Amino acid sequence: QNTVLVCIPCIYLWVCFPVYFLYLRCHDRGYIQMSNLNKAKTALGLILWIVCWADLFYSFWERKNIFRPPFFLVMPTVLGITMLLATFLIQYERIKGVQSSGVMTIFWLISLSCATVVFRSKIKHALNTGAEVDAFRYVTFCIYFILLLVQLILCCLPERPPLFSETVNDPNPCPESSASFLSRITFWWITGLMVQGYRRPLEAKDLWSLNKEDKSEEIVPGLARNWAKEWAKTKRQPLNMLYSPKKQQKSSDSNGDVTEEAEALIIKPSQKSSEASLFKVLYKTFGPYFLMSFLFKAAHDLLMFAGPEILKLLINFVNNKAAPNWQGYFYTGLLFFCACLQTLILHQYFHICFVTGMRLKTAIVGVIYRKALVITNSARKTSTVGEIVNLMSVDAQRFMDLATYINMIWSAPLQVILALYLLWQNLGPSVLAGVAVMILLVPINAVMAMKTKTYQVAQMKSKDNRIKLMNEILNGIKVLKLYAWELAFREKVLEIRQKELKVLKKSAYLAAMATFTWVCAPFLVALSTFAVYVTIDKNNILDAQKAFVSLALFNILRFPLNMLPVVISSIVEASVSLKRLRVFLSHEELDPDSIIRGPVTEGCIVVKNATFSWSKNDPPSLNCINFTVPEGSLVAVVGQVGCGKSSLLSALLGEMEKKEGYVVVKGSVAYVPQQAWVQNATLEDNILFGREKNESRYKRVIEACALLPDIEILPTGDKTEIGEKGVNLSGGQKQRVSLARAVYCNADVYLCDDPLSAVDAHVGKHIFEKVIGPKGILKNKTRVLVTHAINYLPQMDTILVMSDGEISEMGSYQELLKQDGAFAEFLRTYANAEQSMENSGNPSGKEGKPTENGVLVNEAPGKLMQRQLSNSSTYSRDAGKSQHRSSTAELQKPLAEKNSWKLTEADTAKTGRVKATVYWDYMKAIGLFISFLSIFLFMCNHIASLTSNYWLSLWTDDPVINGTQQYTNVRLGVYGALGISQGIAVFGYSMVVSIGGIFASRHLHLNLLHSVLRSPMSFFERTPSGNLVNRFSKEIDTIDSTIPPIIKMFMGSTFNVIGACIIILLATPIAAVIIPPLGLVYLFVQRFYVATSRQLKRLESVSRSPVYSHFNETLLGVSVIRAFEEQKRFIKQNDMKVDENQKAYYPSIVANRWLAVRLEYVGNCIVLFAALFAVIARNKLSAGLVGLSVSYSLQITAYLNWLVRMSSELETNIVAVERVKEYAEMEKEAEWSIEQTAPASTWPEEGKIEFRGYGLRYREDLDLVLKNINVTINGGEKIGIVGRTGAGKSSLTLGLFRINEAAEGEIIIDGINIAKIGLHDLRFKITIIPQDPILFSGSLRMNLDPFDQHSDEDVWRSLELAHLKTFVSSLPDKLNHECAEGGENLSVGQRQLVCLARALLRKSKILVLDEATAAVDLETDKLIQSTIKSQFEECTVLTIAHRLNTIMDYTRVLVLDRGEVVECGSPDHLLQEKGIFYSMAKDSGLV
């Protein structure tokens, strides 16, 4: 006692000291001031040292009289030095900022436990009368003991936080860093949050900030640095990357985003070493922290085997009637202690794994985001937006999952070896039979895992395609509705879905097989082992000790063997993800040096002999470009559609691959793209774009860009939030915002890609004069302007004429006219067409009055502007959805309400428990028969399992006669039969659940798809596409592949727990007193937890959406971000969004651990009581029953843990069903087709349209946008609709197509009230050519005729009339030419012509034309106009006109103002009336 027990704490501290000292040296958290707590600890440490050395001096003094053995000198010396060391550590920790120390707490705990034993024996010794007592040593020992106790208590209290730490200025710091050691190992520190979450649903503001070491800004740069190093190493041996486009590439006019699906082919290099290993990089970055988990795991694995060993001792004790009682109690205590220690260690291990997983995800998302900002366009083509988002969500998730499993790779074999060794000791060689069975099962499992893998890849592929298609459908939903194409696209989606379900079904069969081997393996092993054991030798007796200790060991074996295949498949999955990531991270990056941004002597932009292509292996799109732009000059770039004008700008921005030549751009650059890119932020943020706000400059810019009137219309002025992709702005407004952003940033060089195309003529003029032209804000800057507008050309300094990727002519307007070349020809053709638009200067005398969009607005001074948002140009391609919601007349409402106006509804988090109806819905989706069948099969399985184990206990209690047992064969036979029936039941329920799951997911997806397609337009405007895509990817994926296995495990664990309780009650009925209260504690803890956990999970998934939305947005605007050099700011935003997401994820990890620790203590108590009651009733119980009851209770902890995990998993995942149902039950638009009222197939025969008292509003709470419109349009009339921005021109067409239902009055076409017929019946009969041409990815033919109603000749004829025949014939695949996502591989002009071809193909009586001439050069415009005149001669044509000259020859013109028809008549007649039409005509210089 005196030596060993004193030594243990000393050895512990001295072993820990060097490691701990080094750790503290490296991890300095700042300095903690001296506090009373610290002074007390230090003082006590010193007193302890004095007490120990008092003993030492006493021994010296004693040596004079009595001789004592040397340890009386050695021990106090060692102990004293150790106490000094402890005191030193207390101070050192304080200096290094440790608030609570585990090393010291454990040291004091060990010292105290050792001292307690000594203390007990000393007291016993003293009570023994007649024993001599050493008074001095007694006193010192008592003091020592009391001081240790006080030290331990003090050590449990945390210190105050270090000086200068971040937590001081953090409003809501994470309590973890300041929690004490005990609080940390039991996760007590999160209890505050749990209580809060139990009282009321948590909100985002309740969450703690992340710890510094978990934040993006700490983690991502580390990984990025390591990857850069690794990448640089392999860069030395060049990696051959080829981008092989599947089809011949076209140069294009749109953004240059020639989205060919190209595949990155990596040609296998000769030596393997040249691939950058991402695994190595991840290991370098996260390895050191993760290594801690190895130690914990190893300790836990060793402790696991303590259970069966102690069980062996317990059974011996029950059998041996002579053993003293204290032995039994000691074993029980030991069992409990081991179990508790095991719990604490296991959860520390899990915590480390999960935190590593979380950091991994943060790092991967951050790295992908940073990479996406720098990859070349050709690389962009190899991964569509969908795929990159998948990398962020799915693949990053896989790494998170793997982090928790990866240690099983070495831990599983370790556990297997230990278990086999102990089994061998127990049963001898017959164990080999069991091992043989296990080894047989491993390859079977491995084969299944590999198979599952291949299925998964196939399923992922289908899923990618499905999401890509859904993405397009949601972006182009407006067009789908106008064309009534929903059904065709629904079929396309379901076709892909069918493939996906086929694969899922195969996986389900496999899963059933796997579950079968999973559940039956331990049983088969036990059966074979016992059978061999009893049949080899008559004298081998199966007694309780052998049977139940073996069973306990087999149960331990079950886990590693089942985990191995899971881990292996998880590793395989992660390796696939790793490869996808590596390919993405190895993509070519833009060469920042290809364009020199520096001082130039001769001009501002100098290009010499430059040749550019879109990617390294493409033919060049721009050849031998030579030009110089002097500083401060204005240069126009003109040319036909698709001649490389946009590409030229891209080249100057450095977006293209420079093959040869020399390009210098002096100073900073601002860029206005052709398709305006608008962020989901306030209007003001869009314009400031991260710059400081300078009030006067901001005002000037807004005024110059004609945005003032628009800002007045918007609900909250320039603080209005703009939806995703700018949905609540019209095309013209977006373009002006995009321009304002460029003007505000005050760069040196301005590159504008046709910014005037999307705006009305007079606004264009205003902008040219105020911004771009010789007198505009930018008059001293260098400006390069791509344009189709001829009338501005005379004011240019230089004009570049492009054709086929080369500069054909160059010079001033006058010079080019003199040369009489292509340009002069081009001008002559169009001069007449544009004669009207000659720059007639500003009409005089208008300066003083308020002009709106450059048009005079006569407002009564007192009247509030009650105007509607312009919906013109909202078939915008970038919007994909028009935005009427913002069209609001809410300006009169008080300001408070103004500020609360939001456009998009954020993804909302539901609160409270998941309702039982959701489970019921899911069961109905599966089918009730299947549901109940599976429950019945579960019951059978578990009854068989319990019976077989009970039978085993009866068998072991068979009396032994003459060294053998009697009915061995009967016992064995029944045992086997029970096992086989169990197997059959397992296979049955597994199959049933999997197949049921597939039924359910088919049913739910179908409903979701159907109802989303049937939702009205307003729904798509309110709902960000991210939310919808989330439903189709994340939630459907959960229903497909997560819920069925969770249901299996949930049912399994439920029955397991019930079974274990029944067995314990059978053996020791007295346990009935204990189990219910423990059950209550369990339930309470579980409810307590689920309330918080569910809410955290919801907050986490809600905060996940913005990460993807922002990412999507970035990918769309990447060229703008690069041009403005704003990458850093966007990276920072992305980091913040990821951190917001992790802020909800981190507490949910910890909450899981909190729960598990609490629950395992409940389980450990069950073990304690089962053993305790067995010891108390040892005389009444047979050894068999004790073995049965304790071995079951040993498993119960694991089951309880699983049960709560599964029930909360089930609850969090079933939310997917709830969210899918939620969208399936949204408001719908009217029926697609109504049998009773369906019009005749030839309707409308003449195309006569009557508006009777028609009125329209966008939302219940808004004013009318159109009021009392009474107009009759006769068949075959050509009607022009004009009006100022926001007059309600587009609203009229929306009413005609019933995108919005009438608020009053009716529209009658050929005598049929359109409100009475089905939507498809109506929309099929009217054709629209929308303003923004949207194409879907798929063949060209599919884009023209998705229902395959027309013959190929018809299609070709329509193409010929649309002037596309030559172009399509030149394509290698002709009509099957694949259009990219959004039609990006056709230029905007070509897309417009495709839309015209669609209209020609449908050839309906009524044609609505939303002035589509904006993005088209004059030639194409002429073609379209003439085609419409000739082909739609006897049709009714309604044109929403922005350029008045297109409608001057129409039969009638309707002039709308503020939603009412103010003038109506032939154009000539209206001009004579000198009304609104006249003033508009005057503004565009027609009169």
DSSP letters, 294-321, are HHHHHHHHHHHTHHHHHHHHHHHHHH-T
**Ramachandran assignment for 1254, one of left (phi > 0), alpha (psi -120 to 50 degrees), beta (any other):** beta
- Name residue 710's amino acid: D
CA distance 976 to 527: 7
- Name residue 649's amino acid: L
- Residue 541 has phi, psi (to 5 degrees) of -105, 135
| Cα atoms found within 13 Å of the Cα of residue 458, Cβ hemisphere only | 18
- Name residue 1434's amino acid: E
H-run or E-run covering 987 = helix 968-1013
- The closest alpha carbon to 1155, from 1094, 1058, 1088, 1206, belongs to 1088
- Name residue 1389's amino acid: G
- Can you give the pLDDT at residue 324? 84
- Name residue 1334's amino acid: I
Asked if 587 and 375 touch (Cβ cutoff 8 Å), the reply is: yes
Buried b (16+ CB within 10 A) or exposed e, 575-613: ebbbebbbbbbbbbebeeebbebeebeebbbbbeebbbb
- Residue 613 has phi, psi (to 5 degrees) of -140, 170
- The closest alpha carbon to 1296, from 481, 728, 732, 480, belongs to 481
- Can you give the pLDDT at residue 345? 92
Specify the pTM.
Answer: 0.73
Asked if 1230 and 1212 touch (Cβ cutoff 8 Å), the reply is: no
- Can you give the pLDDT at residue 572? 82
- Residue 270 has phi, psi (to 5 degrees) of -65, -45
CA distance 594 to 1213: 50
- Name residue 120's amino acid: R
CA distance 948 to 953: 9
CA distance 137 to 348: 41
CA distance 694 to 91: 54
H-run or E-run covering 1010 = helix 968-1013
Residues of the chain with pLDDT under 70: 1-2, 68, 71, 129-131, 133, 163-169, 236-274, 829-913, 962-965, 1382, 1411-1418
Max intra-chain CA distance, the chain: 137
Q: Are strands 1460-1465 and 749-753 parallel, antiparallel or unpaired?
A: unpaired
Asked if 190 and 202 touch (Cβ cutoff 8 Å), the reply is: no
Q: How many CB atoms lie within 10 A of CB 1114?
A: 21
Four-point Cα dihedral 677, 678, 684, 685, nearest 10 = -90
- C-alpha angle with apex 1298: 1294 to 1303, nearest 5 degrees? 90
Q: How many CB atoms lie within 10 A of CB 912?
A: 9
CA distance 1393 to 1390: 5
CA distance 204 to 686: 26
- Can you give the pLDDT at residue 168? 57
H-run or E-run covering 626 = strand 622-629
- Can you give the pLDDT at residue 260? 37
Q: Are strands 1452-1457 and 1460-1465 parallel, antiparallel or unpaired?
A: antiparallel
- Name residue 1304's amino acid: E
Asked if 650 and 256 touch (Cβ cutoff 8 Å), the reply is: yes
- Can you give the pLDDT at residue 1365? 82
Q: How many CB atoms lie within 10 A of CB 315?
A: 25
- Name residue 1487's amino acid: V
- Can you give the pLDDT at residue 1416? 60
- Can you give the pLDDT at residue 888? 30
- The closest alpha carbon to 1146, from 399, 393, 402, 362, belongs to 362
- The closest alpha carbon to 1176, from 1078, 1069, 1075, belongs to 1069
- Residue 1027 has phi, psi (to 5 degrees) of -60, -45
Asked if 641 and 1417 touch (Cβ cutoff 8 Å), the reply is: yes
Tokens, residue 503 = 């694969």
CA distance 264 to 722: 36
